[in-house]
């Protein structure tokens, strides 16, 4: 609440607001939000909650999550943008279905062995070099690992969304078992060839932008594909677009910043090769109402 001092309205800081929220927390609360409070530790009142299901501690300065180990009713945990270096204290939190630990300093995926009901895991912008210790997540459908240091992929059969953008992948491999995958994001890596995607027949979105790929191939079997992002690669063969022509569901394609984009008839040629497309790069395709 704003206060008045000498006729000037004083707006409370985020820290003040969070401090007030801490004072108002009751032991039976189901949801607790302590976002952006510059907290350097998890408040004791939080660790003693007995029924909490949703806990947000986003944008604080918390270095240790171990005090959360007793919150066995927790279903959603958000520690985005803190000072965490390891995952700890979650082994007994078997009801968790969603965890966001993005924008921390975590180097290893570990400490999640008991979290068997997890459906969504966000670890964007950490320092992770290997996908490991997650094969027991049989219900996991969304895995976000963008902006790490990953060089390889692990099999997760039930995944529907996989994001490993801005990592260090040089090759597409280890994806054969991801037969339920619907969205794959691997932009900003070092991939040179489209391969290893033969079993991914349910893809609706494929993001291969900002890699080093010269030829468009091995995609004609993706008959559910709607969005294909291939900008900032090295494609210089117009004939390669024929690999997309069997896909009648295709609506959006990005080819800008490839050698073919220098052609003065660039947009018209794409439309002729892919008549189902309604958007080319960021604008509507020619002849689209």
Domain-embedded: residue 38: no
pLDDT at 1: 44
CATH number of the structural domain spanning residue 235: 3.80.10.10
Task: Classify 17 as helix, strand or coil.
Answer: helix
Domain-embedded: residue 185: yes
pLDDT at 7: 46
Total count of domains within the chain: 1
pLDDT at 10: 46
pLDDT at 9: 46
Residue keyed to tokens 């009751």: 26
Burial of 57 (0-12, 13-18, 19+ CB in 10 A): buried
Domain-embedded: residue 218: yes
Domain-embedded: residue 40: no
pLDDT in tens, 126-135: 999 988 888 8
pLDDT < 70: residue spans in the chain: 1-13, 154-155, 289
- Do residues 154 and 133 lie in contact, with contact meaning Cβ atoms separated by under 8 Å? no
Domain-embedded: residue 68: no
Domain-embedded: residue 274: yes
Domain-embedded: residue 172: yes
Task: Classify 9 as helix, strand or coil.
Answer: strand
Enter the pTM of the model. Answer: 0.83
Which residue intervals of the chain are DSSP H helices? 14-24, 44-47, 266-273
What is the spatial distance between Cα 99 and Cα 86, in angstroms, rounded to a whole number?
14
> Structural domain of residue 267, as residue ranges?
151-289
């Amino acid at each position: 609440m704003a206060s008045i001092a000498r006729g000037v309205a004083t707006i409370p800081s985020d820290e003040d607001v969070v401090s007030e929220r801490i004072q108002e927390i009751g032991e039976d609360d189901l949801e607790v939000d302590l976002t952006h409070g510059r907290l350097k530790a998890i408040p004791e009142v939080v660790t003693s909650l007995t029924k909490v299901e949703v806990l947000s501690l986003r944008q604080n300065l918390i270095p240790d999550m171990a005090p959360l180990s007793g919150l066995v009713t927790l279903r959603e945990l958000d520690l985005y943008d803190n000072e965490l270096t390891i995952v700890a204290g979650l082994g007994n939190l078997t009801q968790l279905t969603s965890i966001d630990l993005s924008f921390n300093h975590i180097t290893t995926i570990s400490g999640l062995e008991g979290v068997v009901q997890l459906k969504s895991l966000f670890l964007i912008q950490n320092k992770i070099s290997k996908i490991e210790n997650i094969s027991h997540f049989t219900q996991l459908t969304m895995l976000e690992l963008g902006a790490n240091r990953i060089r390889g992929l692990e099999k997760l059969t039930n995944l529907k969304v996989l994001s490993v953008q801005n990592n260090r992948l040089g090759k597409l491999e280890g994806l054969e078992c991801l037969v339920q995958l619907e969205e794959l994001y691997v932009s900003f890596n070092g991939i040179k060839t489209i391969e290893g995607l033969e079993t991914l027949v349910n893809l609706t979105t494929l993001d291969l932008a900002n890699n080093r790929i010269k030829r468009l191939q091995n995609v004609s079997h993706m008959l559910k594909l709607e969005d294909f992002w291939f900008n900032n690669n090295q494609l210089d063969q117009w004939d390669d677009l024929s690999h997309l022509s069997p896909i009648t569901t295709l609506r959006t394609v990005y080819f800008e910043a490839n050698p073919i984009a220098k052609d003065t008839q660039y947009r018209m040629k794409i439309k002729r090769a892919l008549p189902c497309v309604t958007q080319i790069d960021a604008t509507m395709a020619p002849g689209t109402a």
